[in-house]
Amino acid sequence: MNTVSKTPTPIQYRIEPFDPAGHRFRVHLKVEQPDAGGQCFALPAWIPGSYLIRDFARQIETISARCHGAAVALRKLDDHRWQADAAEGPLELEYTVYAWDLSVRGAHLDESHGFFNGTSVFLQVVGQEDRPCLVDIAAPAGINGWKVHTSLPEARGLPGCARRHGFGCYLAPDYDALIDHPVEMGTPLVARFDAHGAEHEIVFTGLVPQLDLSRIIDDVRRICETQIAFFEPDTRRAPFLDSARRYVFLVQVTGDGYGGLEHRASTALLVSRNDLPVLGETEQSDGYRSFLGLVSHEYFHTWHVKRIKPAAFVPYVLDRPAHTRLLWVFEGFTSYYDDLMLLRAGVISETNYFKLLGKTLHVVHNGTGRFKQSVAQSSFDAWTRYYKQDENSVNAISSYYTKGSLVALALDLHLRNASGGKKSLDDVMRLLWKRYGREFYRGLARGIPEDAMPALVQEATGIDATAEIAAWTEGTEDLPLPQLFAAQGFQAGPAAAGSAPSLDIRTRASSDGAGIAAVQEGGAAHHGGLSAQDLIIAADGLRIASVDALNAMLARRRAGDVVRFHVFRRDELRQFTVTLNPAQPGNWTISKLAGPAA
Ligand code: ZN
């Protein structure tokens, strides 16, 4: 919707990395026509794609307002909003933002680089969200050679327009767009490539000696082309061309980071240095496969959740949680297709694809939380449960990511089985794209109603899967995957258990014992009285100095053995007797049955 006049005056922002050593951005904001009754300003409480209230406004250190050079009083209304006194004429705000959060969700600044999401730094001018936003990105004083990397389009034709990768003015059509193009500035390693004629950039911040950039570009290009052709088999038109001139992967490399956040024409990724391939390396490491999986996942979101959205996200309400029972569609289906697209793009082997799938099957079938919470409930409760996990989560919740990806797998197999191979989940995705996604930023912004999926599946495939979808997404029983696989000529099930017996715990490394991170409900440790946060220091009178020592002890025992454990709980020495369980099943294996291949 856009009800403002044809050429509305833009909101003007200027952001300057003015104190890199102290990690502070300074932002100047000018509103030409403020609300005569006292203009209100707000910072989002959360960032789309990451469903947790983060209170970004707490990082605003100082803030002041002026009109025609005279100070205007600002009053804090709540955790996220300020209101200025009534002013006659343009209102100018100046504020500083502390930026020392090296995640994909926040803002980060030092002498080597700057990164920000608009949700951390750009105040919303309440009531004027539909106006264009002109952003002047300023260079840091006294530091030379930095460049700007973002999918935010340069303000072509306007005074002060930035050159490609330059400081200067950029233009967003509205506030929703402004906060959906993160910005990286500094001296990163940059590579570009085209996928079906659309320009892409990969920007690596952080040192990676000997990085094999051409191998990465080759693999990522194939992933992008496969996904573009999947959604638009006829035109091969990249989705982001409705919002930007190019797609940008902003990659922050650290020692052990992992994560990503999707945007309409870019993504911010946090990856581990050791997961990236170096020159001369020919093997494909597990870490590199997980990097490619992350790339594939966030890129898939360009269609699915950035354009195809639940109605609950149209528009985003950013001052409080936005609840939907459909995250199993948006994160689950995306998690199903991320690795599948690696296989279809030919960047991983079928053997490795089934290995990844077998691991997910194992993770989902491990723990009793899956019997207590459906994926629809998991979606709705993302804000307080999935995003606030603790030691009991394995016993209490299911994941709309992993279980959601298995719902996608089950639905895909069911549709293939019921149609004799003529229809699949691919047909559903293409219908969602056509109906809800393709025109989203071209004036037809609407989302999928909460109860619409069964009808959409039927429309796309002719198959009524209402009962299956209800059972698999609102119910808590295990999905009938072995049967669905068998109908496609595959055998699927957990691998045989190992020989060492099990305590049924998750361990945590400790310098003076074996820490217990989590205890599985109904397992050996639970029955024996051991608890999360206990520190195991001895078994049957012999020292347990580490997790390795605990595992070595277990390897020499058998299921049914009774072991006396000494642990510290709240610094008090306690003793528990535990009867060991048989080993837990391993990752699932999926193999072709003899006979016709799927
Ligand atoms: Zn995701």
pLDDT given at position 595: 60
Q: Give the whole-angstrom CA distance, residue 576 versus residue 521.
A: 17
Q: Give the whole-angstrom CA distance, residue 25 versus residue 189.
A: 23
Six token digits for residue 504: 């049924």
DSSP string, 21-44: TTTEEEEEEEESS--TT--EEE--
CB 574 within 8 A of CB 567: yes
Q: How far is the CA of 333 from the centre of ligand 1 (A)?
A: 9
**pLDDT reading at 2 higher than 80:** no
DSSP string, 269-308: EEEEGGGS-BTT--S--HHHHHHHHHHHHHHHTTTBTTTB
Structure confidence at residue 593 as a pLDDT band (50, 70, 90): confident
**pLDDT reading at 91 higher than 80:** yes
Cβ-based neighbours of 399, under 8 Å, separated by 6 or more:
364, 375, 378, 386
Q: How far is the CA of 537 from the centre of ligand 1 (A)?
A: 40
Q: How far is the CA of 466 from the centre of ligand 1 (A)?
A: 25
Average per-residue pLDDT for the chain:
96
**pLDDT reading at 583 higher than 50:** yes
Q: How far is the CA of 540 from the centre of ligand 1 (A)?
A: 46
Q: Give the whole-angstrom CA distance, residue 538 versus residue 549.
A: 10
Q: What angle do CA 352, 353, 355 make, to 5 degrees?
A: 60
Q: How far is the CA of 341 from the centre of ligand 1 (A)?
A: 14
- Residue by residue, what is the 3-state secondary structure of 422-482? CCCHHHHHHHHHHHHHCCHHHCCCCCECCCCHHHHHHHHHCCCCHHHHHHHHHCCCCCCHH
CB 507 within 8 A of CB 547: yes
**pLDDT reading at 3 higher than 50:** no
Each residue's pLDDT tens digit, 12-37: 999 999 999 999 999 999 999 999 99
CB 550 within 8 A of CB 539: yes
pLDDT given at position 6: 58
Q: How far is the CA of 345 from the centre of ligand 1 (A)?
A: 19
Strand partners, 116: 107, 183
**pLDDT reading at 1 higher than 70:** no
Q: Give the whole-angstrom CA distance, residue 11 versus residue 29.
A: 7
Q: How far is the CA of 335 from the centre of ligand 1 (A)?
A: 7
Q: How far is the CA of 300 from the centre of ligand 1 (A)?
A: 9
Q: Give the whole-angstrom CA distance, residue 77 versus residue 304.
A: 35
pLDDT given at position 537: 98
Each residue's pLDDT tens digit, 144-179: 999 999 999 999 999 999 999 999 999 999 999 999
Burial class (CB in 10 A: 0-12, 13-18, 19+), 409: buried
380-400 average pLDDT score? 96
Each residue's pLDDT tens digit, 343-383: 999 999 999 999 999 999 999 998 899 999 999 999 999 99
Q: Which candidate, 70, 92, 89, places its Cα nearest to that of 26?
A: 92
Q: Which candidate, 90, 100, 87, places its Cα nearest to that of 61?
A: 100
Each residue's pLDDT tens digit, 264-321: 999 999 999 999 999 999 999 999 999 999 999 999 999 999 999 999 999 999 999 9
Q: How far is the CA of 538 from the centre of ligand 1 (A)?
A: 42
**pLDDT reading at 570 higher than 50:** yes
Q: How far is the CA of 200 from the centre of ligand 1 (A)?
A: 20
* Chain-centre distance for alpha carbon 565: 40
pLDDT given at position 497: 82
Q: What angle do CA 578, 582, 585 make, to 5 degrees?
A: 130
Query: Do strands 490-494 and 505-510 pair parallel, antiparallel, or not at all (unpaired)?
Result: unpaired
Q: How far is the CA of 406 from the centre of ligand 1 (A)?
A: 15
At 435, the amino acid letter reads R
Q: How far is the CA of 331 from the centre of ligand 1 (A)?
A: 5
Q: Which candidate, 55, 26, 30, 52, places its Cα nearest to that of 43?
A: 55
pLDDT given at position 152: 98
Query: CB 452: neighbour CB atoms within 10 A?
Result: 18
The residue that leads in pLDDT, 7 or 553, is 553
Q: Which candidate, 13, 181, 190, 206, places its Cα nearest to that of 97?
A: 13
Strand partners, 108: 100, 115
Q: Give the whole-angstrom CA distance, residue 205 versus residue 578.
A: 49
Q: How far is the CA of 334 from the centre of ligand 1 (A)?
A: 6
Q: How far is the CA of 459 from the centre of ligand 1 (A)?
A: 26
414-442 average pLDDT score? 97
Structure confidence at residue 5 as a pLDDT band (50, 70, 90): very low
CB 134 within 8 A of CB 171: yes
209-238 average pLDDT score? 98
pLDDT given at position 4: 43
Q: How far is the CA of 504 from the centre of ligand 1 (A)?
A: 30
Q: Give the whole-angstrom CA distance, residue 494 versus residue 492.
A: 7
**pLDDT reading at 598 higher than 50:** no
Burial class (CB in 10 A: 0-12, 13-18, 19+), 169: buried
Residue 365 per-residue DSSP state: T
Q: How far is the CA of 77 from the centre of ligand 1 (A)?
A: 33
Q: Roughly how many angstroms between the first and final C-alpha of the chain, as a whole number?
A: 46
Q: How far is the CA of 337 from the centre of ligand 1 (A)?
A: 11
Of 174-188, 217-231, 486-500, 531-545, which range is least confident?
A: 486-500
pLDDT given at position 486: 96
Q: Which candidate, 88, 134, 107, places its Cα nearest to that of 25?
A: 107
Q: How far is the CA of 260 from the centre of ligand 1 (A)?
A: 8
Six token digits for residue 410: 């089950």
Place of tokens 């700007």: 148
**pLDDT reading at 589 higher than 50:** yes
Helix (H) or strand (E) holding 376: helix 375-380
pLDDT given at position 298: 98
Burial class (CB in 10 A: 0-12, 13-18, 19+), 350: exposed
481-485 average pLDDT score? 97
Q: What angle do CA 535, 541, 547 make, to 5 degrees?
A: 40
Q: How far is the CA of 401 from the centre of ligand 1 (A)?
A: 8
Q: How far is the CA of 259 from the centre of ligand 1 (A)?
A: 9
Q: How far is the CA of 497 from the centre of ligand 1 (A)?
A: 32
Q: Give the whole-angstrom CA distance, residue 324 versus residue 380.
A: 5
**pLDDT reading at 406 higher than 90:** yes
Q: How far is the CA of 301 from the centre of ligand 1 (A)?
A: 7
Q: Which candidate, 429, 437, 436, 373, places its Cα nearest to that of 402?
A: 373
Q: How far is the CA of 342 from the centre of ligand 1 (A)?
A: 16
Q: How far is the CA of 354 from the centre of ligand 1 (A)?
A: 21
Burial class (CB in 10 A: 0-12, 13-18, 19+), 507: middle
468-472 average pLDDT score? 98
Structure confidence at residue 184 as a pLDDT band (50, 70, 90): very high
* Chain-centre distance for alpha carbon 240: 18
Q: How far is the CA of 561 from the centre of ligand 1 (A)?
A: 43
Helix (H) or strand (E) holding 413: helix 402-418
Percent of the chain with pLDDT over 90: 95
Q: How far is the CA of 434 from the centre of ligand 1 (A)?
A: 21
Q: Give the whole-angstrom CA distance, residue 456 versus residue 133.
A: 36
Each residue's pLDDT tens digit, 524-547: 999 999 999 999 999 999 999 999
Q: Give the whole-angstrom CA distance, residue 259 versus residue 224.
A: 19
Q: How far is the CA of 457 from the centre of ligand 1 (A)?
A: 21
Q: How far is the CA of 261 from the centre of ligand 1 (A)?
A: 7
